[in-house]
Structure 1
Amino acid sequence: MATAIFEVDTKEFESRALNWAQEFDEVCFLQSNGYADDYTKVDRLLAVKAVEVFASTTGKSAFDGLETFRAKHPHRWMPGFLSYDLKDEIEGLGNDLPEGIAFPKAYFFIPETVIRFYQNHVEIEADDPHAIFRAIERHDGPATNTANQNIPISISKRFSKTEYLQAFDRLQWHIQRGDVYEVNLCQEFYAEGISLNPLELYKRLNALSPTPFACFFKLGRQYILCASPERFLAKRGDTLISQPIKGTARRGRDSAEDAEIIARLRGNPKEIAENVMIVDLVRNDLTRSAQPGSVKVSRHLEVHTFRQVHQLISTITCLKRPDISDIEVIRNTFPAGSMTGAPKISAMSLCDRYEGSKRGIYSGAVGYFAPDGDFDLNVVIRSVLYDSSASFLSFHTGGAITLEARGETEYEECLLKASAIVAALNTSIAH
Structure 2
Amino acid sequence: MSEGFRFLWPEAAQKWQQLESLAASSEHCILLDSHQHRDSYGSWDKVLAWGARAIYQGDFEGLKSFRQEHKDWLFGHLAYDLKNQLEDLNSRHPRKLDWADLQFFIPETIVLLKGDQIQIISWRYANTQALEADLAPPQVQESLSNLKFEAQTSRETYLEDIQSLKQELQYGNIYEINYCTLFEARGPMRPLQRFQELNEKHQAPFSAYYRDKQRHLLCFSPERYLRKQGAELISQPIKGTAPRAQDPVRDQEQKAHLLSSEKERAENVMIVDLVRNDLSRTARTNSVSVPELFGLYSFNAVHQMISTVRSELDSNRYTLEDALRYSFPMGSMTGAPKVSAMQLIDQHEHFRRGLYSGALGYIDPEGNFDFNVVIRSIAYDSEQDYAQVAVGSAITIHCDAEAEYAECLLKAEKLIR
For the aligned pair, the TM-score class normalised by the smaller chain equals: over 0.9
1:8 pairs with 2:1: no
In the aligned structure 1, how far is the partner of 2:414 from the partner of 2:103?
27
Which residue of 333, 341, 344 maps to 1:350? 344
Aligned to 2:302: 309
| Residues 239 and 267, structure 2, Cα contact 8 Å, conserved in 1 | yes
Q: Per-residue deviation at 1:205?
A: 1.4
CA contact (8 A) 1:385 1:393 kept: yes
Cα distance in 2 for partners of 1:128, 1:98 equals 39
CA distance in 2, matches of 1:149, 1:32: 26
Distance 1:133 1:256 in 2: 52
In the alignment, is residue 414 of structure 1 matched against residue 408 of structure 2? yes
Match of 2:24 among 22, 25, 30: 22
Corresponding residue pairs, total: 413
In 2, the alpha carbon distance for the partners of 1:345 and 1:35 equals 33
Matched residues in 2 for 1:173 and 1:19: separation?
Answer: 50
Deviation readout 1:352-405 (Å, 9 max, x if unpaired): 000001100000000000123210011000011111011110110000000110
The question of whether the paired residues in 2 share the 8 Å contact of 1:155 and 1:191 is answered with yes
Q: 1:49 aligns with which of 44, 48, 51?
A: 51
- Partners of 2:134 and 2:95 in 1: how far apart? 40
Counterpart of 2:368? Answer: 374
| CA apart distance, 1:148 | 7.1
How many Å separate the matches in 1 of 2:143 and 2:326? 44
Which secondary structure state, in structure 1, belongs to the residue aligned with residue 106 of structure 2? strand
Pick one of 110, 116, 138 that aligns with 2:112: 116
* CA deviations over 1:302-328 (Å, ceiling 9, x no partner): 001111111110000011102200001
Tell me how far 1:142 sits from its aligned partner: 6.3
8 Å contact kept, 2:125–2:131: no
* Contact 1:368 1:375 survives alignment (8 Å): yes
Alignment partner, residue 31 of structure 1: 33
2:8 maps to a residue whose letter is I
Relative to the length of structure 2, the TM-score reads 0.95
Q: Distance in 1 between matches of 2:124 and 2:325?
A: 36
SS at match of 1:274: helix
Q: Quick one: distance in 1 between partners of 2:353 and 2:107? A: 27
Shift of 1:141: 4.2
Equivalent position amino acid for 1:116 in 2: L
Q: CA deviation at 1:23?
A: 2.6
Structure 2 residue matching 1:136: 3-state secondary structure: helix
Q: CA deviation at 1:95?
A: 2.5
**Among residues 170, 179, 182, which one is paired with 1:188 in the alignment?**
182
In the alignment, is the contact (CA less than 8 A) between 1:217 and 1:223 conserved in 2? Answer: yes
Cα shift at 1:236: 1.3
1:170 matches 2:170: no
**CA distance in 1: counterparts of 2:403 and 2:105, whole angstroms:** 41
Cα shift at 1:9: 5.5
Partner in structure 2 of residue 428 of structure 1: none
The question of 1:89 aligning with 2:92 is answered no
Which string of whole-angstrom CA distances, capped at 9 and with x for unpartnered residues, describes residues 273-318 of structure 1? 0000000100011110100111111100000111111111000001
Once superposed, what is the RMSD of the aligned Cα atoms? 1.7
CA contact (8 A) 2:223 2:373 kept: yes
Deviation at 1:163, TM superposition (A): 0.6
- Aligned partner of 2:16: which letter? E
Cα offset, 1:16, TM superposition: 1.0
Rounded to whole Å, the distance in 1 between the matches of 2:143 and 2:324 is 40
> Deviation of residue 164 (structure 1)?
0.6
Shift of residue 261, structure 1, vs aligned partner: 1.2
Name stretches of at least 5 consecutive residues in structure 1 with no aligned partner: 57-61, 424-431
Q: CA deviation at 1:420?
A: 2.1
Instruction: Show the counterpart of 2:173.
Output: 179
Correspondence for 1:426: none
Residues 417 and 273 of structure 1: is their aligned pair in 2 closer, same or farther, counting only changes over 3 Å?
same
* C-alpha distance in structure 1 between counterparts of 2:168 and 2:205, whole Å: 35
Render the CA deviation track for 1:68-114: whole Å, top value 9, x for unaligned.
1111122x221100000111111110122133201111110111111
Change beyond 3 A, Cα 1:138–1:25: closer
Does residue 1:161 correspond to 2:161, yes or no? no
Distance (Å, rounded) in 1 between the aligned partners of 2:120 and 2:311: 33
- Please give the alpha-carbon distance, in whole angstroms, between the structure 2 residues aligned to 1:128 and 1:95: 40
CA distance in 2 between partners of 1:70 and 1:95 (Å): 28
Contact 2:22/2:134 (CA < 8 Å) preserved in 1? no
SS at match of 1:8: helix
**Distance (whole Å) between structure 1 residues aligned to residue 211 and residue 141 of structure 2:** 17
Range with greater deviation from structure 2 (310-319 or 371-380): 371-380
Which amino acid is 1:4 matched to? Answer: F
Partner AA of 1:3 in structure 2 = R
Which one-letter code corresponds to 1:350 in the other structure? Answer: L
Alignment of 1:275-424 (within 5 A): 275-322=268-315, 323-423=317-417
Superposition deviation, residue 117 in structure 1: 2.4
The whole-number CA distance in structure 1 between the counterparts of 2:142 and 2:300 is 29
Deviation at 1:214, TM superposition (A): 0.7
Aligned equivalents of 1:9, 1:378: Cα separation in 2: 25
